[in-house]
Chain A
Amino acid sequence: EAGVVQSPRYKIIEKKQPVAFWCNPISGHNTLYWYLQNLGQGPELLIRYENEEAVDDSQLPKDRFSAERLKGVDSTLKIQPAELGDSAVYLCASSLDRDTDTQYFGPGTRLTVL
């Protein structure tokens, strides 16, 4: 069974530039999560989707971050414009449904903002 796929794996951009991350969850997983992981910290939830609906986006900085999950399968997370402090690893995870706590993570996208 294929795992969670993320791309790109690494991204280096100048500050104020836009950037987008893509995630394809495990087939059949209805719930998709985007996490932010800073160096030396655990992952922190940015947004959770149940199918196409964003059910928890309370931690998403909406002035510069946006996300979508069209058709309830793959998802895109965007930052525009990027700031120096956005340098981190962006992780995508999926689970069968909201009550299944076992979340399966992708390899992440390491973003460096210069």
Chain B
Amino acid sequence: DQQVKQNSPSLSVQEGRISILNCDYTNSMFDYFLWYKKYPAEGPTFLISISSIKDKNEDGRFTVFLNKSAKHLSLHIVPSQPGDSAVYFCAASAIDNQGGKLIFGQGTELSVKP
């Protein structure tokens, strides 16, 4: 049972435009959500997170939106840069139930074209 799903395995965007990566989850107990970025041959790197008490968190070019009723979150990157080309994983956790155990989606490979 895939509790965290990223239904788009890949996304291609032109440099300077907005990239929108989507993630859906099924477990209503999840209360903390994170995005990680992964370059080839490297481990995932933490990018941005959001608590379930918020619906938006912004850090520079990166903004994460959370829609709890739809069990959906998205990562917006604007403007997109070629260096943003990587695989992006969303992850979720339920602190009270699982002590911070992260459940990851399958990842979306973003390609930003110059």
Q: Is chain B a partner of chain A in the same complex?
A: yes
Measured CB to CB, the residues of A under 8 A from B are 4, 6, 31, 40-45, 48, 55-56, 91, 93, 95, 98-108
Task: Determine if B114 is an interface residue (Cβ-Cβ < 8 Å).
Answer: no
**Residue numbers in A under 8 Å from B41 (CB-CB):** 107
Assembled-state Cα–Cα distance A6/B107 (Å): 22
B99 near A98 (CB under 8 angstroms)? yes
- Residue ranges of B at the interface with A (Cβ–Cβ < 8 Å): 4, 9, 32, 34, 36, 41-46, 49, 89, 91, 93, 95, 98-102, 104-107
Residue of A nearest to B92 (CB): A101
Q: Which residues of B contact A99 (CB under 8 A)?
A: 95, 99-100
Cβ-defined contact, A103 with B45, below 8 A: no
Q: Which listed residue, B43, B49, B91, touches A106 by the CB 8 Å rule?
A: B43
* Apart from A41-B106, A105-B43, 6 more pairs, CB < 8 Å: A91-B44, A95-B100, A100-B100, A101-B100, A102-B46, A108-B43
11 A-B pairs with CB atoms under 8 Å apart are A31-B100, A42-B89, A42-B105, A45-B101, A45-B102, A91-B43, A99-B99, A100-B100, A101-B32, A101-B34, A102-B49
Given A101-B34, A105-B45, also A42-B101 (CB < 8 A) = no
